Amino acid sequence: MSEKKIDKILVGVDDSADALLAFDYAIKRAKEEEAELIIASVLESDELSVYQAMDKDYIHGKRGDLEKHILDYREKAIDAGVASVRTIIGEGDAGETIVKDIIPKVNPDLLIIGSESKRGLRRHFGSQAAYMAKYSPTSVLVIR
């Protein structure tokens, strides 16, 4: 039985230590597999106050900051030698957004994620990594 060819790798990033480890591993794996690397990040609505959520300028500013930041990740991957790199940003709950919105759009062969997050995800019951591992329609590799 042969292994399935990995053509697209999706990696979730959020600046936590584990997400950075996942990103580094995704770069390594994308180069080894000669796969496209898709870098995803999520603007989480639960991190915003009700006033911020109602302020379109605030939301656009936060999204703009995230867009700039994710492009830094893209440059790092290109500089490391990944031939094909793209980025995607979602909004909402990180785990659900990646599983329900981002994965169907990009159809990756492998999702690589860290096991923790530095943001508000620890407040949730269970972890986002556990949610994605359970509900993802594609293979998931959790990095620690």
Q: Which residue has the higher pLDDT, 35 or 122?
A: 35
Domain residue ranges of the chain, discontinuous segments joined by +:
8-143
Whether residue 48 has pLDDT greater than 60: no
Query: What's the CATH number for 8-143?
Result: 3.40.50.620
* This prediction's pTM: 0.84
Whether residue 54 has pLDDT greater than 80: no
Helices (H), the chain: 17-33, 50-54, 56-79, 94-97, 103-106, 128-135
Between CA 9 and CA 109 the distance in angstroms is 6
- What integer pLDDT is reported at residue 53 of this predicted model? 46
| 75-122: pLDDT as tens digits | 999 999 999 999 999 988 899 999 999 999 999 999 999 986 545 444
